[in-house]
Structure 1
């Protein structure tokens, strides 16, 4: 039993759902079959008897308006419709009308239903016609054998019913399980991937935090014990302070990532004037552009509107503009464009900085946390390695398509809103 439970617990959710659904469908088919087998004959007996009673009562009640010809016509259609044997006699016992009368016995059953073991049901009525002083006696016998034979037929086709139900159950369960489990499996795989990335991220964080902490600890220890070059406390206090600032920036960015993950599903979507937003962001960093003697080519159409979380998109655009300034050599160009695509009817944002390229093999890695193209991995020249990771996470939370391309002498980043 434990082995069976263990095997069941280890089964894929798709196969579990397939097995359960198949079993339920087969069980349902079995219940329907048993219901038909045991209850249909009795129910159908009662239904046919009630139908015959109502028909006979209707004829008896309306017979006072009939003549003998109309009565015979009515009885003919009753016998034809309900497949019964009948005989109509007068007070002297002479047969006035008959249909399959050879099946009628001389023993009157009266207006009493027979048990299921008896294969006939008999009903008798007295009829009075208009303009006639005589009474007529009607006896109708309804065979129940064809109804009981339905059970025999059901029993004979049971193997075919079982095979058909089994095949239909398997096919239905397969389609159902595949349709239902596909999104579930996608969600589970996504959760597993996110958990894996989270663990890798934490491991990388530990390494990234350890480096500045080790540097600060070593410098402070050297100054405490006046060891060698660390006797120059003024110089190394400044270096220790610089290391703490790097550490602060790193911690702030990690806090931002954690915040984004927590609030990823709580976006405050609103209509934003992208044209005005870009103008304001570029103006904020104009002094950095001038400081590096960069040439800004600004081609942004007026009144471009997008739907996004204002605060998060500001951080994305600001990060991209800042990166373009930071990594562009002095005297190069920064090209910022925003326009509405005529083909896709979407707003497109592009930022391109010249004088720098990225090897194609690194293009898919630049969005990973702590990845730096800069070989020295120096935070002063290569950044923390979290900027584009934050950009990527934010754009994905908005379901926006983006891409980075490395050209002959430039790097281009594009967002499709």
Structure 2
């Protein structure tokens, strides 16, 4: 942002400085040009006039080569018209024989006789320079003479000096106007830079500076555009990282909250069986009432401890996969073979032998995933289907493969689950059976473990009611 502060700081200074520098340069250049006119214009005009007269006189000399006095007189007439002078032609006796547009009485006049008549038109004064050209007509020598008047040259210098105040006023006004528009034109890119820089300071990178030159301003515009692109890219990256960080924090908080709820629920679940076992043991020690029959109540205590052991194992399994050190190792294994074996194991149980099994498992479906997690989750689902069904109930199992992945579903005849409780079944220690009886309602942690394992394995799942029962779906796309 250093460039932004720098542009804002120098913008006003540069505008004023450029204005006054431009104004000063215009005035200096104008003064120099005017001085050059005063010094060199008179001499330049004199040389120009002299050369022009010289060329005209040479044309008269060239016309004399025709040996015709009429041609010479016509050439002298043109010479006089083009240069606004009065040349005259002299013979060898120094007598004037021709003056353009002047009627001479007789054939010739001496220079003394016509001095009065020529004084008005071509006076030979201190401000005049006489020029003579020799020529011959039919072998007879003649001389053409004319005067260069330098008085107008001094008049030019005087007129320039008299016009100087007006010229200076005009130049000052013109310089002010030119300097103003030039400074505005020069500072305009900086004003545009300042506007874009202010937007950049507000993290708005929607506008880009046009680069129309290769000078310092063009280079600065190019660098600002590059800086804007880099800042925008960095900001986008930071926003992505921030979004990911917020998601991670939210996930971490959710996990922490779940962990707290889980610990609270586990504490509650362990408290009752521990108190029950302790009460039974204490009653047996003191041989209170029916607890004298130690064999019966030792068996019950052992069964309670088995349930507690299974619950602790489930807790340890969940804690292990939630830890950062857990490695999600993936292997390729035969899901079809595992499903077939799991169903067979459930059927061997005496209570499940009368279930009607519909097997639609496509053989040899190989998947690539974390084998222990996937097998544990699916075995829980299969066990629940057998546990929550009765004799002669139907259990339908299917496994299919598609071009995008695979799909597993298991259906069993069972009463419909209230819609509002379908998602709650995946919460830890949540049971449809509210009595707390472990024999009929379970511990309420099986589906929680199943959902946790499936999510860790990046698998999709859904529990839904059907017309006559309940279906659980697991798939990967």
TM range (shorter): 0.5 to 0.7
SS at match of 1:366: helix
Query: Given the superposition, is the C-alpha separation of residues 161 and 405 from structure 1 closer, same or farther in structure 2, using an over 3 Å criterion?
Result: same
SS at match of 1:217: helix
Q: Choose which of 196, 202, 213 in structure 1 pairs with 2:274.
A: 213
Question: Are 2:285 and 1:233 equivalent residues in the alignment?
Answer: no
Query: Given the superposition, is the C-alpha separation of residues 248 and 35 from structure 1 closer, same or farther in structure 2, using an over 3 Å criterion?
Result: farther
Partners of 1:105 and 1:215 in 2: CA distance: 121
4+ residue segments displaced more than 6 Å: 32-39, 102-106, 149-152
Partners of 1:232 and 1:171 in 2: CA distance: 81
User: In the alignment, which residue of structure 2 is the partner of 1:22?
Assistant: none
- 1:187-212 CA-to-partner distances (Å, cap 9, x unmatched) read 21111111111111111111111010
Q: Choose which of 285, 300, 324 in structure 1 pairs with 2:385.
A: 324
SS at match of 2:412: strand
SS at match of 2:408: strand
Query: Given the superposition, is the C-alpha separation of residues 37 and 236 from structure 1 closer, same or farther in structure 2, using an over 3 Å criterion?
Result: same
Partners of 2:350 and 2:7 in 1: CA distance: 79
How far does residue 415 in structure 1 lie from its aligned partner after superposition? 0.8
Q: Choose which of 321, 331, 343 in structure 2 pairs with 1:282.
A: 343
The structure having more radius of gyration, on CA atoms, is 2
Cα pair 2:410 2:472 within 8 Å, conserved: yes
Cα pair 1:319 1:387 within 8 Å, conserved: yes
Question: Are 2:373 and 1:312 equivalent residues in the alignment?
Answer: yes
Partners of 1:292 and 1:332 in 2: CA distance: 11
Q: Choose which of 334, 350, 375 in structure 2 pairs with 1:273.
A: 334
- 1:106-144 CA-to-partner distances (Å, cap 9, x unmatched) read 9xxxxxxxxxxxxxxxxxxxxxxxxxxxxxxxxxxxxxx
SS at match of 1:365: helix
Cα pair 1:371 1:386 within 8 Å, conserved: yes
Q: Choose which of 374, 378, 393 in structure 1 pairs with 2:437.
A: 378
Query: Given the superposition, is the C-alpha separation of residues 29 and 104 from structure 1 closer, same or farther in structure 2, using an over 3 Å criterion?
Result: farther
User: In the alignment, which residue of structure 2 is the partner of 1:29?
Assistant: 4
CA RMSD after TM alignment: 3.9
Partners of 2:277 and 2:317 in 1: CA distance: 24
Q: Choose which of 396, 401, 404 in structure 1 pairs with 2:455.
A: 396
SS at match of 2:431: coil
Query: Given the superposition, is the C-alpha separation of residues 151 and 412 from structure 1 closer, same or farther in structure 2, using an over 3 Å criterion?
Result: same
Partners of 1:405 and 1:287 in 2: CA distance: 27
SS at match of 1:415: strand
SS at match of 2:444: coil
Query: Given the superposition, is the C-alpha separation of residues 338 and 263 from structure 1 closer, same or farther in structure 2, using an over 3 Å criterion?
Result: farther
Normalization by structure 2: what TM-score? 0.54
Normalization by structure 1: what TM-score? 0.62
Partners of 1:239 and 1:301 in 2: CA distance: 43
Q: Choose which of 468, 471, 475 in structure 2 pairs with 1:409.
A: 468
Cα pair 1:346 1:416 within 8 Å, conserved: yes
Question: Are 2:294 and 1:262 equivalent residues in the alignment?
Answer: no
1:88-99 superposed matches below 5 A: none
User: In the alignment, which residue of structure 2 is the partner of 1:348?
Assistant: 407
How far does residue 361 in structure 1 lie from its aligned partner after superposition? 1.5
Q: Choose which of 234, 237, 246 in structure 1 pairs with 2:307.
A: 246
User: In the alignment, which residue of structure 1 is the partner of 2:428?
Assistant: 369
SS at match of 1:235: helix
Question: Are 2:224 and 1:165 equivalent residues in the alignment?
Answer: no
User: In the alignment, which residue of structure 2 is the partner of 1:197?
Assistant: 258
How far does residue 186 in structure 1 lie from its aligned partner after superposition? 1.6
1:132-171 superposed matches below 5 A: 153-154=186-187, 161-171=193-203
Partners of 1:246 and 1:227 in 2: CA distance: 25
Partners of 2:35 and 2:341 in 1: CA distance: 107
Query: Given the superposition, is the C-alpha separation of residues 32 and 194 from structure 1 closer, same or farther in structure 2, using an over 3 Å criterion?
Result: farther
Q: 5+ unaligned residues in a row in structure 2: which ranges?
A: 15-29, 37-178, 206-231
Matched positions, count: 298
Q: Choose which of 244, 263, 266 in structure 2 pairs with 1:183.
A: 244
